[in-house]
Each structure stands twice: as C-alpha cells, then as structure tokens.
Amino acid sequence: MTELRIDLARLRANVRAVAERVAPAALLVVVKDDAYGHGVEPVVAAALDERVSWFGAIDVPSAARAKAAAGERARVFCWATLPEEAVAGALDAGLELGVGDAGYLERVARIASGRGAAAPVHLKIDTGLHRNGVRPEEWPSFTARAAALERDGAIRVVGLWSHISEASDAEDDLSRAVFEEAGRVALDAGLRPDVRHLAASAAAWHRPAFRGDLVRIGAFCYGVRSAGDDDIPGVAPAASLVADVVGIGAEGVEIGVGWLDGVFSTLAGRIEVGTPAGARTLLDVAETTSTVASWPGAAVGDKVVVFGPGTTGEWTPTSVGEAAGTVGEEPLLRLSPLIPRVHVD
Ligand SMILES: *Cc1c(COP(=O)(O)O)cnc(C)c1O
C-alpha cells in the first residue's frame, strides 16, 4: 500500500527541540488540516507525552478532535470566525475561540449567554497582515466592549493574539510594536488575559522578543522548515511518502501516488525518488499516479520513496515543495486524504 509513514519518535523529538528553544514561553502545537496531514490524534498523543498543554487549529473539526484526544490535559484554541450555527458546537467541544471582529464578539457573547457559561475568547488585533483582526483604531472600543461583556459573564478574555507575516523582520517589528500597544490598551480596559501570542515557527525560533507567553507552531513540529532556513538543529521531517509500484509501462514505472493539484505536475524531471535500484528521476505527476524512470527488474509491489529517508540527498517535504515552486507544507497538505497515514514508533 502507498502510505505516508509518520515517525512518532521523530515527531516527539521535534516537539521537544521546539519546546526547549522557546521556553519559558509555552508551546501551542498547531494541528490544522489534520495536523498538516499527519493525523490529529497520534500527533496530540505524541505532543502530550512531551507535556505540551496547548493545541490549536483554524478549523473546528481538527480543533475538536484535538480537544477530544487531550481532554483536560490541554487547552485548545480555534481561530476561524465561525458561522452562527457552529459557535455552540465549538463551545460544547470545549474550544477557546479566536475573535477578531466586533460583530462576531456580539454573536459569541449572545450564544454563550444563552448557554449560561462564559465563552473563553482570544481577542485578535490586526497588526498589519490584514487577514482578519480588529484594526488598531477600533481596538480601544472593542476591548472596552469585551470588558463589559466579561463583567456580564458572557465571555472570558483568556488571550490576546495576532499573526505576522514572518517575511520581513522590519515589518514584523512594526507588528510587534502594534501588538504591545494593544496589550496596554487591553490592560487599561480591565482585561487580564492568561496568554498573549504572536509568533509561528520562524519568528518563535529566531526572534526571542516575539515569543510572549505562548507560540503557535506547526511547521517546525512536523520537521518542515521555512524558506531560507537550511538547518533547524534538532528538527527533521517526521513524514516519509512511500509509494507502491502499480504498473510497468513503456514510458517508465508507474507508482501509486499523485497530487490532485496541478502545482505538482511541475515536479516532472526535478526530483529523484528512491527505488530498489537507487535514485531515479520522477518523470511525470498525475492525479493518482506518477511515472518514474525505469530500472532493471522493476516489479509491481516494489517500494519507491518519494520523500524521506531512502531518497538520494534525502528529499524532504520542504525540498519537494521548493522544487515545485511552493512551500514545504504543500506536498503534505495536498496529498490525498485517501492515502493511509501509518504511525510508527
Ligand atoms: C498555520 C498557522 C500557524 C503555524 O504556522 P507555522 O509556520 O506552520 O508554524 C500559526 N498561527 C496561525 C494563525 C496559523 O494560521
């Protein structure tokens, strides 16, 4: 069977390296999109073994699965602005909600009041990315309103947060200044959040000033490094993609893996996969199959490693993503969910 093989010992080592690097800030392991394709439940279990006490996802399904797996051992943050009908379910699931919009704040408060329990919320300031969040000029009235709703018992402001581009240090510095000022305004409004969080993998790893109380890290926990980061000590890919040979053709050997997205057709001729006879060029990528340059004695059922240990030069999700002109998360996120995830320990 073609499979995405996930090395849980490697995953735990990554989590440990990241947690040590960012301490004393706490680590929130991001598990959006089914834990970057690795499978929410095994990732949560591995992270809990490393005493991680926060998880987060944009989507309710991944976040709710993380909460169900972790129970009281972890808090789980869900940051999508949810449609009206999804809010009660998310609160029932025990999730803490990201709120970056005045209308959404009112909806969450109204729904929580109806249920008779304060909704835990993390208020989001837009520090320049313009991807949802309350604009700085509206922040004083927004936080004043949140404080009033908190006094009414409708919400509890447990966090302040934002997201930064991590593309330019100068821009990120400006964002951090806006974030810190927003924290002072929130304090003046009477809010006493447990945590403030701004950074994802790259800023949390490289820039201590960005860590705050909590960092939200996905990529580095899975061993996916960002563009420009050649080596993150202690961190290596946890997933390898191992495909079966499913046919022998005149053009080459057909393997049972492809990507639905056209992005990966550009991999043709650009990467080498590991075959029983050594490295061979990937000749073509289709939706559910790909073609590899042939080798003597190739047979149906042979195993071919597309990325992970066993490829020449150790192709990784990041280097495969870069070869296709995209980032290292994409070869994982766009892989068909029908390909089994096999967790080995
Ligand atoms: C995806 C995401 C993260 C994690 O980013 P990585 O670069 O994978 O660590 C953090 N915060 C938000 C809001 C995200 O969407």
pLDDT, tens digit, for every residue of 158-169?
999 999 988 899
d(CA 105, CA 111): 10
Decide if 259 is inside a domain. yes
Instruction: Choose one of 77, 131, 216, 229 to mutate for the ligand 1 pocket test, by most ligand atoms within 8 angstroms of C-beta.
Output: 216
Nearest ligand 1 atom, CA 219:
8
The CATH number for 124's domain is 3.20.20.10
- CA–centroid distance, residue 224 to ligand 1 (Å): 12
Q: Which helix (H) or strand (E) is 303 found in, with range?
A: strand 303-307
Residue 93 lies in a domain: yes
281 and 151 in a common domain: no
Pair 217, 303 in one domain: no
> In a 3-state reduction of DSSP, which class is residue 239?
strand
pLDDT, average across residues 14-34: 97
Separation of CA 241 and ligand 1 centre (Å)? 23
Q: Which atom of ligand 1 lies closest to the CA of 329?
A: 8
96-99/119-124 β-pairing: parallel
Atom of ligand 1 nearest to the CA of 200: 9
Specify if 233 maps to a domain: no
Average pLDDT over residues 131-140: 94
Among 21, 30, 206, 235, the mutation site with the greatest number of ligand 1 atoms within 8 A of its Cβ is 30
- Do residue 171 and residue 255 come from a single domain? no
For residue 281, the cross-strand partners are: 272
Task: Give the domain-ending residue among 160, 189, 221.
Answer: 221
In a domain, 1, yes or no: no
Whether residue 73 is contained in a domain is answered as: yes
Q: How far is the CA of 12 from the centre of ligand 1 (A)?
A: 19
Residues 143 and 252 in one domain: no
Give the end of a domain, one of 178, 193, 221: 221
pLDDT at 192 over 80: yes
246 and 213 in a single domain? The answer is: no
DSSP summary character for residue 327: -
Distance 166 CA to ligand 1 centre (A): 10
In the three-class reduction of DSSP (H, G, I as helix; E, B as strand; rest coil), residue 119 is classed as: strand
Closest ligand 1 atom to Cα of 204: 9
Query: 159: how many CB neighbours lie within 10 A of its CB?
Result: 23
Ligand 1 centre from 189 Cα, in Å?
A: 28
Structure tokens at 201: 């993998």
Q: Please report whether residue 136 resides in a domain.
A: yes
Measure the CA–CA gap between 48 and 71, rounded to whole angstroms.
Answer: 11
Tell me, what amino acid is at 149? L
Q: What is the mean pLDDT of residues 310-337?
A: 89
At residue 218, the pLDDT reads 97
CA distances from residue 133 to 19, 105, 310, 333 in whole angstroms, order as listed? 27, 11, 44, 25
Atom of ligand 1 nearest to the CA of 202: 7
Q: Check if the beta carbon of residue 44 is closer than 8 Å to that of residue 25.
A: no
Q: Are 139 and 182 in contact (CB under 8 A)?
A: yes
DSSP string for residues in 130-185? -SSSB-GGGHHHHHHHHHHHHHTTSEEEEEEE-----S-HHHHHHHHHHHHHHHHH
Residues 202 and 133 in one domain: yes
Whole-angstrom Cα distance, residue 76 to residue 95? 5
* Length in residues, the chain: 345
Q: What is the CATH number of the domain that holds 279?
A: 2.40.37.10
Say if residues 134 and 102 touch (Cβ distance below 8 Å). Answer: yes
Does residue 51 sit in the same domain as residue 152?
yes
Higher per-residue confidence, 314 vs 279: 279
Ligand 1 mean position to 287 CA, how many Å?
Answer: 27
Domain end position, chosen among 172, 195, 221: 221
pTM over 0.75: yes
Do 203 and 87 fall within a single domain?
yes
Domain that holds residue 75: 7-221
What's the pLDDT at 227?
A: 75
Residue 126 confidence (pLDDT) above 90: yes
Half-sphere exposure of 203 (CA within 13 A, CB side): 26
Split into its structural domains, the chain has a count of 2
Task: Look at residue 20 and tell me if it is in a domain.
Answer: yes
User: Residue with the nearest Cα to atom 3 of ligand 1?
Assistant: 200
117 and 146 part of one domain: yes
Which residues have C-beta atoms less than 6 Å from ligand 1? 30, 32, 58, 79, 163, 200-201, 216-219
Q: Are residues 194 and 53 in the same domain?
A: yes
Distance 30 CA to ligand 1 centre (A): 7
Residues 160 and 186 sit within 8 Å (Cβ to Cβ): yes
Same domain, 23 and 144: yes
pLDDT of residue 135: 97
Q: Is residue 229 part of a domain?
A: no
If asked whether residues 89 and 119 sit together in one domain, one would say: yes
Q: Which of 124-133, 138-147, 208-217, 293-302 has the lowest mean pLDDT?
A: 124-133
- Residue 58, pLDDT above cutoff 90: yes
**For residues 51 and 15, is the Cβ–Cβ distance under 8 A?**
no
